[in-house]
Amino acid sequence: MMRLKVIQRGLLAILLLCSASAAMAQNALFLRDSPLASLAGAELDALLDEIGHTLDTAELHTPVTWQTTDRRLSSIWTVTEDYQKQDLSCRKMTLETTKAGETSSTSYGFCRVDNNWLFDLE
């Protein structure tokens, strides 16, 4: 049983080393069905940085507001749950985003891997 855990952790480490760039792309992919998908370049970088900061610091059920510098898009993020997955610390967050008067709300899971929050695919 212990040997299986060692093998699993080794495979996870290899996967993480081989997929650093894929992980960054994956982190932006979760936005594809959201109004946040319209962001690019520096705005997208700022968004992902702020999501990471929110996941690091926000108390459960405490809304955090974010908006683009030109205020065309705003979003309220709320961390709703802490959970463990394969020995990783994870958090679920709801993103309620408003663009051009339309609001959408989605929930995502993120897990902390090597000091980065990665989108939880499951």
Task: Provide the domain limits for residue 78.
Answer: 2-119
Name the residue among 47, 11, 23 with its Cα closest to residue 114.
23
SS3 label, residue 32: coil
**How far is it, in rounded angstroms, from Cα 63 to Cα 54?**
10
Number of domains within the chain: 1
| Grouped pLDDT means (10 residues each) for the chain, 122 residues | 45 39 44 68 85 95 94 93 94 92 89 90 72
pLDDT value for 29: 52
pLDDT value for 14: 41
